[in-house]
Every structure is written in structure tokens, then in C-alpha cells.
Structure 1
Amino acid sequence: MNVLVTGGAGFIGGHISEHLAGSGHDVTVIDNFEPYYDLGIKEHNVEAAREAAADAGGSYELVRESITDATLVDDLVANSDVIYHQAAQAGVRKSVDEPAKVNSYNVDGTVNVLDAARKHDVDRVVVASSSSVYGKPDYLPYDEAHPTTPVSPYGVSKLATEQYARVYSEIYGLPTVSLRYFTVYGPRMRPNMAMTNFVSRCLHGEPPVIYGTGEQTRDFTYVEDVRRVNEQLLTDDSADGEILNIGSTDNIDIQTLAEVVRDEIDPSLEIVYDDPREGDAEHTHADVSKAAALLGYEPTFDIREGVEQFIEWYRANEDWYDSLVRRS
């Protein structure tokens, strides 16, 4: 099958691309290599996918361009059966600084992808959304019926992304599924995330830094669970037209997360605190019953197991990954 992965050199897109290429599919990735963090991590994602394709007899092509180029997107979509739309300007804090840029990538770029997919009658577009669409909770855990009142330009842009996908499904009959990810983590994750920073600092004998009180809670989702449900949608039409939460059902406060990481690496370290960061949600917690009903989705990693796995992977790849994290 011919698969297009937008943002396919990034964290989640990289895992999707690697596994699909390793399953013998013909994978094309478009990624503009936005220097939001050290691009060496993206280069490793690309290399992993290329190796997987070579081992499986599939193909892998990288296009270093932006989804804001409508003509190029149309050309790539014309040769695709399924699209995984993972491309976005990530980062809540980045969006506070540059909201127009975030809108250009996340909203205008999405319309380019969806319009080309409609024109060329692709089998399905799987869209990456985010728990950031919810904003302040009226109740927890969030189900998909919870009001969407995002508190950052990033959250607004992801809400627009998934709503455009829904409208293209309803008006044009384009099969789309939008997945609201809840704080995805795991091997090759972005360096500017709390878990990466906690692990890096502790491995260097430095105290983990919490921004705010540490009472904030997050539903951390292991990347393998996210990759698995995305790949299922390559052929499964059970959720076409739907918006689904993809989380772990197991949330944890940031204070406890810092303690879990610290205790796994160096229990003697103290935890330090800094000012909270603007635009961050206070709490996230996913109700995944809809994804379970439609797709049989069931997360396989709880947070403590996932942290242990990530630390183990970090240590095994410290020679290249740690230097990139420390530079970012």
C-alpha cells in the first residue's frame, strides 16, 4: 500500500513510518525539518525508517518540504492510498509566541492535505489531534463530548484541524479519523518534554526541575500504543468520521512523575521548582471508552512501566540522544 505520512520525520510520525515501512508498505514522508528542537533526532527517525524499509523490501522516500505548499501536497497525495497527517508546529509555548505561524502550519496545511485527499479520493486520512483541545476541565476524565475550550493557540489550531477533518468527512464523504493524543512519550521523543528533561537531568546528577507546583496532572501515553492504533486504521473503517481520545487511562501528577524518574536513577537528588509556563493545561485525563468500543483500543503500558522502558532505552542510546537533548 502507498502511504503518505506528513510530519513523518517527527516523533510519532517517525514511529508510524518506521513500522509501516518495516511491514513492506511504500512510505513517503513529507517533513519540513522545522528547527523546533535538535534536528539530529529527526535524522535518526529517518534512518530507522530507511533501515526498516530495506529489511522488509518496502520503500521509503523523504521529501523535505512543507505541507503549506499546496501544489506539492497535491502531487504527493495523488500517489497515496492512505494519509497519516501528523505534521504540525508543535508546542504550546511556541504557539503563544508565534500564533500566526502555528495557524499557517496546523490549519492551512491541514486544509491542503484534506483538499488534495478529497480530489484524489484516498482511502482514509488519519489526523493527529491533541488533548489540548479541551482546555480547562469541567469534569475528568475527558470524554469526547466534553466542551472544547482550548487555552493556547496550539490547542485552537488542533481543534480546527480535527473539525476540518470532520467537515470533509460529512460534506465530501472523505473517510477521516481524528485521534486526540494525550501526552505521548517514548523512544526518540522530543527533548523539550517534562519526562525527557527529568531523565536527562537525573542521569547527569542534576535535580529535576518542575515548572509550577507539580500538582498538574497528565495522562501519559506510550508511543507504541499510539503507533499501534494508527496502523490499525490503515484498513479498519470502524471509526471513519469520528474523533477519538487516545490516552492511557492512567494519569499522574508532575510531582510524582519527577519522583518516579528520580527514584529510578538517583534517589539522593532534590526536586527544584520554577515558574509555571504560560498556556499549559492544568490537568489531562482521557476517557478512551469510545476508542475501545469502535476499535478495541486498550493501552498496554501504565506510566511506571513506561518510565522504566524509556529510561532503559535512553541509557542504551545515550551516546547520541543525550547530547541532542542537552543542546535543545
Structure 2
Amino acid sequence: MNVLVTGGAGFIGGHISEQLAGSGHDVTVLDNFEPYYDLGIKEHNVEAAREATAATGGEYQLVQESITDENIVNDLVASSDVVYHQAAQAGVRKSVEEPKKVNSYNVDGTVNVLNAARKHDIDRVVVASSSSVYGKPEYLPYDEDHPTTPVSPYGVSKLATEQYARVYSEIYGLPTVSLRYFTVYGPRMRPNMAMTNFVSRCLHGKSPVIYGTGEQTRDFTYVEDVRRVNEQLLTDDSADGEIVNIGSTDNIDIQTLAEVVRDEIAPDLDIVYDDPREGDAEHTHADVSKATKLLDYEPTFDIRKGVQEFIAWYRENQDWYDPLVRRS
């Protein structure tokens, strides 16, 4: 099949592109290489997908343009069977600083993708959403019926993204699925996340820093589980028109996460604390029963197994991935 992955040089998009290329599909990646973090990581995502393509004899094309360019989006969607819409301006704190920019990428860009997909009768559009849409919990774990009251412009933009996808499905008959990801982590993840900061600092003999009390909780989802369910949606129409949580069911507080990472690398280090960061949700915890019912989704990595896998990968790739190594 011909697959378009917007944001396909990013973390999750890169893994989806690699997975689909390795399964023999022709993959086109649309990514504007926004310098939100070190672009060398994106280059490694592209290389991983190219290597997967070479092993299967498929085709891989990288287009360095933006989803805000309506004509570019239209031309690429026209030659695709399925679109994985992963492109977005990521980052809660970034959205607090530049809400208009986040809206332009995440909302206007999404409408460009959906319009083109409707025009060219695409088989399916799989949209990346986020647990950030929930905001303050009225109860936990979050199910898809929980009120959506995001506490950051990023969360608002993701809510708009998935609601546009739902409306295009209901009004125009465009097959769409929106996946609400819960704190995805793993190889080649963004380096400015809590887990990468903990691992990097511990490997350099520095205390992990927690922003806030450490009582915040997260549902960490290993990227292998995410890319597996995305590949399934290439041909599976069981969730068309739906919004679905994709998490791990393995809720952990940030204090414990820091301790797990520290104990794996440098048990003698103390943990230090700093002021909380604006816009961060206090708690996330996924109810994945809908994903299980519709897609037989079952997460395979608990947090301790995932952390061990990630630390092992980090050590092997520290020379190009670790921000402290790159700056030295």
C-alpha cells in the first residue's frame, strides 16, 4: 500500500514509518523538520525507515515541507491509500509560549489533511491525539467519555484535531480513527521529556530533577505498543469514526519513575526538586477497555521492563543521542 505519514521524521511518526516500511509498504514522509529539538534525532528516524525499506524492496520518500502548505498536502494525499497524521507542534510548555503557532500547525494543518483525504477518497486517516485533552481528572482512569477540559493550548489543539476527524467521519463519511496517546516513550524519543532527563543525568552522575513534588502520575506507553496498533489500523476498520485511548494501564508517579531510573543506573544519587512547570497535567491514567474491545489492544510493556529496554538502548546510542554528550 501507499502510505503517507505526516510528521514521519518525528518520534512516533518515525517508528510508524519504520514499521510500515519494514512490512513492505511504500512510505512517504511529510515533515518540516521544525527545530523544536535536535534535528539529528529526526535524521536517525529517517535513516531507520530507509534501512527498513531497503530490506523489503519498497520505496521511501522524504518531503521536507509543512502540513500548513495546502497544495503540498493535497498532492501527497492524492497518491496515498492511507494517511497517518502524526505531524504537530509538540510540547505543552511550547504551546503556553506560542499558542498561535501551535494552533496553526495542529488545527489548520489537520484541516488541510482531512480536506485532501476527503477529496481523494482515502481509505483511512489515523490521527494522533493526546491524553492532554482530558485536563484535570474528575475520575481515574480516564475513559473516552471523561470530560475534556485541557489545561494547555496544546491540549486544546489536540482536542480540536480529533473532533475535526470525528466530524469529517460523521458528515463526509471519511474513515478516521483518533488515538489518544498516553506519554509515549522509547528509542529516539524527544530528549526534553522527564524520562530522558532522568536517564541522561544519572548516566552522567547527576541527580535526577523532579519539577514539582513528584506526586504527579503518568501512564507511560512504550512506543512498540503504539506502532503495533497503528500498523493494525492500516487495514482494520473496527475503530472507524472512533476516538480511542492508547495507553499502558501501568500508572506510575514521577517520584517512583525517578527512583526506578536512578536505581537502574546510579543508586547512590539523591533526587532533587524544582518548581513545577506551567501547563503540565497533574495526573494521567488510561482506561484502554475500548481499544481492547474494538482492536484487541493489549499493552505488552510495563514501566519497569520499558525503562530497562530504554536505558539499554540509550547506552548503545549515547554518543549521538545524549544531549550532554553532544554539547561536550
Common fold: TM-score over 0.5: yes
Q: Look up the match of 1:12.
A: 12
- The CA deviation at 1:23 is 1.0
Q: Look up the match of 2:109.
A: 109
Structure 2: distance between partners of 1:316 and 1:71: 41
Structure 2: distance between partners of 1:322 and 1:99: 29
- Amino acid of the residue matched to residue 133 of structure 2? V
- The CA deviation at 1:226 is 0.3
CA RMSD of aligned residues (A): 1.1
Q: Within 5 Å, give how 1:116-265 maps onto structure 2.
A: 116-265=116-265
Structure 1: distance between partners of 2:127 and 2:324: 28
Q: Look up the match of 1:86.
A: 86
Conserved 8 A contact 1:114-1:165: yes
- Amino acid of the residue matched to residue 300 of structure 2? T
TM-score by length of 1: 0.99
Structure 2: distance between partners of 1:246 and 1:51: 27
Structure 1: distance between partners of 2:307 and 2:178: 27
Give ranges in structure 2 of 5+ residues lacking alignment.
Answer: none
Give ranges in structure 1 of 5+ residues lacking alignment.
Answer: none
**What CA deviation, in whole Å up to 9, does each residue of 1:242-282 have, x standing for no partner?**
00000000110000000000000000000000000000000
Structure 1: distance between partners of 2:283 and 2:232: 29
Structure 2: distance between partners of 1:237 and 1:275: 45
- Runs of 4 or more above 3 Å deviation: 323-327
Conserved 8 A contact 2:129-2:179: yes
Conserved 8 A contact 1:200-1:325: no
Structure 1: distance between partners of 2:170 and 2:318: 47
Q: Look up the match of 2:39.
A: 39
- Amino acid of the residue matched to residue 192 of structure 2? N
Structure 1: distance between partners of 2:163 and 2:322: 38
* 3-state DSSP of counterpart to 2:125: strand
Per the alignment, do residues 278 and 109 of structure 1 end up closer, same or farther by CA in structure 2, a change over 3 Å counting? same
* 3-state DSSP of counterpart to 1:29: strand
- The CA deviation at 1:144 is 0.1
* 3-state DSSP of counterpart to 1:291: helix
Conserved 8 A contact 1:38-1:324: no
- The CA deviation at 1:325 is 7.5
- Amino acid of the residue matched to residue 38 of structure 1? D
Structure 2: distance between partners of 1:44 and 1:301: 24
- The CA deviation at 1:326 is 5.7
Conserved 8 A contact 1:200-1:326: no
Conserved 8 A contact 1:41-1:324: no
* 3-state DSSP of counterpart to 1:83: strand
Conserved 8 A contact 1:184-1:223: yes
- Amino acid of the residue matched to residue 117 of structure 1? A
Q: Look up the match of 1:70.
A: 70
Conserved 8 A contact 2:319-2:326: no
- Amino acid of the residue matched to residue 22 of structure 1? G
- Amino acid of the residue matched to residue 163 of structure 2? Q
| Identical counterparts, % of pairs | 89
